[in-house]
Amino acid sequence: MPPSNRHLIIAGTNKSGTTSLFRYLADHPDICGCDKKELGYFLNLPDKEATALFDGYISHFKNIENGDKILLEATPNYIDGGHTIAKRISDLLPDPQLVFMLRNPIDRLVSYYKSKQGLTTSVAHGLALDDFARKALTLAQNEKPADADRDRLLAWQIEKSKYALLLEQYLEVFPASSLAVYFFEDFQVNPLQTVQSICKRLGIDDSFYDTYTFHIENRSRHHKNSRLRTTASHVNRDLEKYLNRVPGLRRYLRGIYNYLNTKPGKTYKLDPELSAEILAFLEADNHRLATLLGEKFDITTFPKWLVG
């Protein structure tokens, strides 16, 4: 079995800066990022014995012979799986640290929609923003789950912002000391503070970031050509493990793509009344979240979307 390393997983949530956080932490000399940022290993585990599963997971990390590196991956959809994913992680990894980044549900939904524009395989494809959000909310409000996979995925774009419900399921498996919760709004303003906080939790030197340049990764953009957008998405998926080894080349190629197939000036704003309906649907869970964060994580300062 490979050396015994510590494990750090950015487990949620999507469109909340997890790609940027992964890149920043993976650059630290005491941390080894996996060959693919969104590894998704625990989403669908194969039917193998534990040792083989552990070896399969470790194989995604390079140059860790001494066992002194913290192994990092970031799959924001892990939070979506609640207790099931938490149990899979707990069964396989010894004492992992899990990081959750939470974001204003409206902003997260709009960012998700924006990021999927031009991607023909997306559930948002062909829908205007308000139509997408209205349909997702209507499906989420239905007591009987939708039958079609597309409808279930649409409803989940609202349901997945029930952060308290999902975090409570992780707390059924892990002690609160194994979980760290941050807000995207704070991270966006001061990424240094967030990475320094994580370094302190891990017991590693945070002075590495004193002169660090915090590039923004995976920014949502407006794409000119849908086919090129979809092709680029597949190419990035296939080559990610190689590009992760040369971050400068990755940023260079992304710059070329942005020049060729993205354009500024496209803004998205959800209808205010529809936004209010979505927040009302999530209100009870947000109250539970504020209480949970205070009781379990000693967090008492919240962004406006949570206290409002």
173 domain residue, yes or no: yes
Q: What percent of the chain has pLDDT over 90?
A: 69
For residue 60, which of 81, 49, 74 has the smallest C-alpha distance? 74
Report the number of distinct structural domains present in the chain: 1
As a whole number of angstroms, the distance between CA 218 and CA 220 comes to 6
Name the packing angle between helices 82-92 and 50-58 (round to 10°). 90
The string of pLDDT tens digits covering residues 72-85 is 999 999 999 999 99
Write down the pTM of the prediction. 0.84
13 domain residue, yes or no: yes
143 domain residue, yes or no: yes
Q: Which of 68-77, 113-122, 231-240 has the lowest mean pLDDT?
A: 231-240
Which CATH number characterizes residue 214's domain?
A: 3.40.50.300
192 domain residue, yes or no: yes
117 domain residue, yes or no: yes
267 domain residue, yes or no: yes
- The DSSP result for 106-155, as a single string, is HHHHHHHHHHHTT-TTSTTTT--HHHHHHHHHHHHH-SSPPSSHHHHHHH
Its domain, for residue 126, covers: 6-307
Those residues whose C-beta lies under 8 Å from the C-beta of residue 161, and which sit 6 or more positions away, are 13, 105, 108, 109, 282, 285
The string of pLDDT tens digits covering residues 181-232 is 999 999 999 999 999 999 999 999 999 999 999 987 655 555 566 567 567 6
As a whole number of angstroms, the distance between CA 233 and CA 202 comes to 33
1 domain residue, yes or no: no
81 domain residue, yes or no: yes
125: left (phi over 0), alpha (psi -120 to 50) or beta: beta
As a whole number of angstroms, the distance between CA 222 and CA 168 comes to 36
